[in-house]
Amino acid sequence: MRKSVLVVDDDAFVRSFLSMILKEEGHFVVEASTGKEALVKFLNFDFDLVITDLKMPGMSGLDLMQECKKNKPEVHWIIVTAYGSIGSAVEAIKSGASDYLTKPFKNPEELRHVIRRVLKEAEAERTIFLLSEELGKQFPPIKMIFLGERMKKVYEMVQEVAPTTATVLIEGTSGTGKELIARVIHEMSPRKGKPFVAIHCAALVENLLESELFGHEKGSFTGALNRRQGRFELADGGTIFLDEVGEIASSVQVKLLRVLQERQFERVGGSQPVSVDVRIIAATNKDLKAEVSDGHFREDLFYRLNVFPILLPPLVDRCEAILPLAEYFADKYSASLGKKISGLSSEAKSLLLEYNWPGNIRELQNIIERAVILSKGLIDVIHIGLDIQEDMVGANEGLLKSTEKETIQRVISEVGGNRRKAAEILGISLRTLQYRIKEYGLN
């Protein structure tokens, strides 16, 4: 894919050499001989990549990068430096550069490799940004999802498998973002722009699931008044995401196996084979190997699905992501609710870090939304939520009851005594709320 690149160097030979390499790769190139000239061109044109010499008269490459990043932080940078100044290049990377090149250049292929890799990263990040915008109401920015060493490895796997046609099996507990990862794979694949069709296999009974997946012919069952296309046909040319694939009944598993093997199936009530070009991404919160051992899942189907497994770690194993996510959700909900939130107290942060998060990112999102509703400035322990406080290991029981009582009383007052509304805000059932009101003797 053709990209636009700004090459900055006071040495005309270096500029010419880099431009030649980039043009051979099919990219559009703009040259600048000084930092100030480059700054003007940068601000007046959209570049995907800037390659700049580190040391230049007047504005240095590092100064140029720092100034440009104030306006367009998403642009990637490669710093060019003399061999003896690698330490300065490392500092530039710490300041936001993607990579560095040393001169004199020894191998043109090495240059091409670095440029290709950085441009590939730039394209991936752009895809992630656009997908974040599309899914912003449901998910945090995807880069935040990949925070931490374990998720960086997941991201590397996603980058490797996305351009291929391989079937992917995403494993992980509920709320870890399996559908989000599937969407990222689709958006980073050659099928981008084609349909992405998701179906929650656990939400439908056996007969309905078969019809949803493969469609049905007119008159195939009571109520089938017309021929209907299934999800596989709707996803033709694109990707189908089978969420909770471990819940599929054995009779449907047989037809799914055929699709994986032959890319063909028959509609319910039909006899003519339907061919599709579909990439399959499946997800499960079950241990499918154990399901195979117990006879609940076909072994041959498991191996067909498990071509490229990706395991998403639970949030409790991504501790470094908990507080950034919490702060992101706090900003998001304070903006949408029109409330001024000044952040989280140190006690609230400690509470979030100590909790085991059985509901993962989805649970964290709900907890922070409720905290924003309850808070009048700084989010504190009292606003975090009853479920967390009740599940805390080693917490002081008397303190928890006092905090819970105060929270319930405040919410009831804020909603004018409407118990049903109070229960919704607190995230508990009306029955539980009524029990607590009685237990604490609240009005």
Q: Tens digit of pLDDT for each residue in 94-125?
A: 778 888 888 888 788 888 888 988 888 777 77
Assigned architecture for domain 4-122 = 3-Layer(aba) Sandwich (3.40)
Cβ(368)–Cβ(330) below 8 Å: yes
- pLDDT for 392 beyond 50: no
> How far separated are the first and last CA of the chain, in Å rounded?
66
- pLDDT for 138 beyond 80: no
CB neighbour list of residue 217: distance below 8 Å, 6 or more residues apart = 224, 227, 267, 268, 269, 270
- pLDDT for 19 beyond 90: yes
Residue 310 Cα distances to 44, 171, 260, 338, angstroms:
42, 6, 19, 39
HSE, CB side, 13 Å, CA atoms: give it for residue 187: 20
CATH (residue range 316-440): 1.10.8.60
Q: Tens digit of pLDDT for each residue in 225-246?
A: 677 888 999 999 999 999 999 9
Q: Tens digit of pLDDT for each residue in 38-66?
A: 999 998 888 989 999 988 988 999 899 98
Cβ(155)–Cβ(181) below 8 Å: no
SS3 71: coil
Residue 207 Cα distances to 201, 263, 279, 321, angstroms:
12, 21, 23, 41
- pLDDT for 279 beyond 90: yes
What are 346's two structure tokens? 């140190």
| Average pLDDT of the residues of the chain | 84
Distance CA(217)–CA(211), nearest Å, equals 9
Phi, psi for 394 (deg, rounded to 5): 80, 5
SS3 412: helix
Distance CA(274)–CA(10), nearest Å, equals 62
pLDDT for the residue numbered 205: 76
Tell me if the domain spanning 143-311 has CATH number 3.40.50.720: no
For 247-261, 274-288, 370-384, 402-416, which range has the lowest pLDDT when averaged over its residues? 402-416
274-275/264-265 β-pairing: antiparallel
* Total residue length of the chain: 443
User: Which of 137-146, 224-233, 313-322, 425-434 ranks highest by mean pLDDT?
Assistant: 313-322
Residue 182 Cα distances to 131, 194, 282, angstroms:
12, 14, 8
pLDDT for the residue numbered 104: 80
Mean pLDDT of 274-303: 94
Q: Closest by alpha carbon to 79, among 58, 57, 59, 103?
A: 103
Residue type, position 64, single letter? L
What are 118's two structure tokens? 């950085």
pLDDT for the residue numbered 404: 67
- pLDDT for 397 beyond 50: no
Residue range(s) of every CATH 3.40.50.2300 domain in the chain: 4-122
308-311/279-284 β-pairing: unpaired
442 or 394: which leads in pLDDT: 442
Maximum Cα interatomic distance, the chain, rounded to a whole number of Å:
83
Helix segments in 44-94, DSSP class H: 61-69, 86-94
CB atoms within 10 A of CB 370: 22
- pLDDT for 264 beyond 50: yes
Extended beta strands in 286-333, E state: 308-311
325 or 408: which leads in pLDDT: 325
Q: Tens digit of pLDDT for each residue in 316-364?
A: 898 888 999 999 889 888 888 888 888 899 888 988 988 888 889 888 9
Mean pLDDT of 394-405: 52
pTM to 2 decimals? 0.64
HSE, CB side, 13 Å, CA atoms: give it for residue 361: 27
Distance CA(29)–CA(5), nearest Å, equals 5
Q: Residue written as tokens 């154990």?
A: 290
Quick one: what percent of the chain has pLDDT higher than 70?
88
SS3 16: helix
Cβ(315)–Cβ(275) below 8 Å: no
Residue type, position 357, single letter? W
Residue range(s) of every CATH 3.40.50.300 domain in the chain: 143-311
Residue range(s) of every CATH 1.10.8.60 domain in the chain: 316-440
Beta-bridged to residue 240, according to DSSP, are 197, 280
Q: Tens digit of pLDDT for each residue in 289-323?
A: 999 999 999 999 999 999 999 999 999 898 888 99
pLDDT for the residue numbered 69: 87
CB atoms within 10 A of CB 341: 21
SS3 296: coil
